[in-house]
Structure 1
Amino acid sequence: MGSKYRLLPHLAEVFAAVGGTTAADPFSGSGVVSYLLKCQGYEVTSSDYLNFPTVIARATTANSDVTLGDAEIDAVCGPAADDRDFIRTTFDGLYFTEDDRTFLDSAWSNIDRLPAGQRDLAISALVLSAARRQPRGVFTFTDATRYTDGRRDLKLSLREHFRERIAEYNAVVFDNGRTSQAVCGEVFDVAPGPYDLVYLDPPYAPPADDNDYIKRYHFLEGLSRYWQDATIMHDTKTKKLAKRFTPFAYKRTIEDALLRTFEHFADSGTIVLSYSSNAVPAADRIIELLGKVKSSVEVRAVDHRYSFGTHVTAARRSVQEYIFIGRDE
């Protein structure tokens, strides 16, 4: 999640060649591809099975005119509107300083009083602040000093982060003349269209273990809804949320999940899939699966590097990112 920035020029080229006016992005993740589609003039249906990507997509892709003014920003960063302390106490000793955790509680007490559009922007900025402030941006470890490398993001308080992040979100709000939407749900809950373009970026199933986004981003998911209706596993060191099954995360279920997804959007004009060479199934098998619903399948390979860690000596692994383009001849 969030590793698509370097692929955006390649995807933009593909999307421009496809053309049309309607697009679906049912694995929206960080939201950058949905926003790219909006920038290219599409009416976008954005979706994700997690809540925090959906909030981000509502704040950016589906939002045409709402921003957060200085008064609202000052209110979020100002005194608490109530005495809530869930984050400060539940995550005592984890991830952030007591002052930062207190700020998250306080910020949410004020965000709760904002109207829907501004609320989405504020939550998005809060989520991005937490991701930037946490080393590596994931919440799978409890010793933050292990990956501290002196970067500015790790030195700023969450209150300082929030002011910078909300300015960034305000700056990307624009109206492309079309009405886009963002919804939270499974890919099979998304209306099948037809769309001119469907972009698919599911979790990449590893050869071993699973690809569990909840394990990595549980804090961001909980923060995006202040842990309402969330089940915290209090017996775990990280206080993570209970895992949610997705067939895209496991090698034993990924092929069936991909085929069902292709079939779900079979009536759409072009299906574009991002996938990695270090995941299963292999490229030739994906071509075979996509070929069951689209008569022409093109594959483009892009060299890509995944970083593990934020420190200078962080391990990096070179892989190829595949872009599969399925069309009807």
Structure 2
Amino acid sequence: MGSKYKLVPQLAQVFAEIGGTTALDAFSGSGVVSYTLKALGYQVTTNDFLNFPSIIAAATVENQSELLTADEIDAICGDACDDRDFIQSTFDGLYFDADDRAFLDSAWSHIDQLTDAKHALAVSALVLSAARKQPRGVFTFTDLRYDDGRRDLHLSLREHFRERAGDYNAVVFDSRQPSRARCGEVSAIEGEFDVVYLDPPYAPPRDDNCYIKRYHFLEGLSVYWRGQQIMQQTKTKKLAKKYTPFSYKRTVAQALRETFKQFKDSTIVLSYSSNAVPDAATIEAAMREVKGSVEVRQMDHRYSFGTHPAAQRRTVSEYLFIGR
């Protein structure tokens, strides 16, 4: 996903300038901006229309103190509690070897017994394990064509899980401010916020920007495919596409206008890319329809395809629109 990790220092400066006590991250994605807002002392509400980003936010933003214990991690990495084999049978020969697929089923037999923040931590660690193990971190192909010898590609998923569980435990902290994570459409969000951060899918000039196409396995894994529609006829066993108007060039401009209007009483901070539509002038004009002051800041940013150091990178301009 379009992680804002490298832009966090600039975003943190903007949020510090704005001030306030309550913040909404309406398209939370990787969760790095929500986590930054929490670290800055905001009461944070996170939202995403996909399940796995919402679960990651529940583990790292909403969660203030719960950790996975060593015994719980050992149990998840141990023998299965039952004989479930959904992942083994559904994805036979796809993505991971037989031992790794068996581990995913086994891990879920234990995760199903966890609740609340511990459940979110375990699912987040499992999702990140699968993302790290899969070449380039996307699930549009099913083989190891991009195996470049990286350690992540050759650890077992069980080994990954132990490391990733430790990673997630390490970032849990108590901000002394309540936060919550939700999953749903932006238009359904209720409440008042001092700051609203928007980082919607960037609509490309051609085709669409479909996160499900790239991350369908992570989305399914995060809920053990419960309630998900698998397109069985596809080679990748991808999920049915979830519609959002922000992903299409024909609908994104109106979707942005409606979102600006929805949060007109908040300070709005929008991230958007120069290689997407609409262009910066159109976005600025739309924001000015509800905001008396609109500032546009431009930053150079490199986007990577994949998670490995040699991933192809493109330099584009990242715009920050700040509407007060």
Q: TM-score range by the shorter chain?
A: over 0.9
Give the match for residue 36 of structure 2.
Answer: 36
1:219 paired to 2:217: yes
Q: Relative to structure 1, is the Cα distance of residues 200 and 309 closer, same or farther in structure 2, using a 3 angstrom cutoff?
A: closer
1:199 paired to 2:197: yes
Partners of 1:54 and 1:182 within 8 A in 2: yes
Partners of 1:60 and 1:172 within 8 A in 2: yes
Q: Relative to structure 1, is the Cα distance of residues 240 and 13 closer, same or farther in structure 2, using a 3 angstrom cutoff?
A: same
Q: Distance in 2 between matches of 1:136 and 1:172?
A: 24
Q: Deviations over 1:29-71 (max 9, x none)?
A: 1111101000000000101110001100000100001100001
Superposition TM-score, scaled by structure 2 size: 0.98
For residue 155 of structure 1, report the CA deviation from its aligned partner.
1.2
Give the match for residue 273 of structure 2.
Answer: 276
For residue 309 of structure 1, report the CA deviation from its aligned partner.
4.5
1:236 paired to 2:234: yes
Give the match for residue 148 of structure 1.
Answer: 147
SS class of match (2:68): coil
Map 1:1-329 onto structure 2 (within 5 A).
1-143=1-143, 145-191=144-190, 193-268=191-266, 270-309=267-306, 314-327=311-324
Q: Say what the alpha-carbon RMSD is for the aligned residues.
A: 1.1
Q: Distance in 1 between matches of 2:309 and 2:7?
A: 23
Q: Distance in 2 between matches of 1:115 and 1:96?
A: 27
Superposition TM-score, scaled by structure 1 size: 0.97
Q: Relative to structure 1, is the Cα distance of residues 309 and 63 closer, same or farther in structure 2, using a 3 angstrom cutoff?
A: closer
- May I ask how many residue pairs the two structures share in their alignment? 324
Q: Relative to structure 1, is the Cα distance of residues 63 and 141 closer, same or farther in structure 2, using a 3 angstrom cutoff?
A: same
Gaps of 5+ in 2: none
Partners of 1:147 and 1:311 within 8 A in 2: no
For residue 321 of structure 1, report the CA deviation from its aligned partner.
0.8
For residue 311 of structure 1, report the CA deviation from its aligned partner.
6.2
For residue 24 of structure 1, report the CA deviation from its aligned partner.
0.3
For residue 25 of structure 1, report the CA deviation from its aligned partner.
0.6
Q: Distance in 1 between matches of 2:62 and 2:306?
A: 32
Q: Deviations over 1:89-118 (max 9, x none)?
A: 111111111110100000000000112221
Partners of 2:138 and 2:306 within 8 A in 1: no
Gaps of 5+ in 1: none
Q: Aligned AA for 1:175?
A: D
Q: Distance in 2 between matches of 1:86 and 1:322?
A: 43
Q: Distance in 1 between matches of 2:274 and 2:60?
A: 30
Fraction of identical pairs, as percent:
69
Partners of 1:147 and 1:310 within 8 A in 2: no
Q: Aligned AA for 1:320?
A: S
Q: Distance in 2 between matches of 1:117 and 1:14?
A: 30
Partners of 1:248 and 1:258 within 8 A in 2: yes
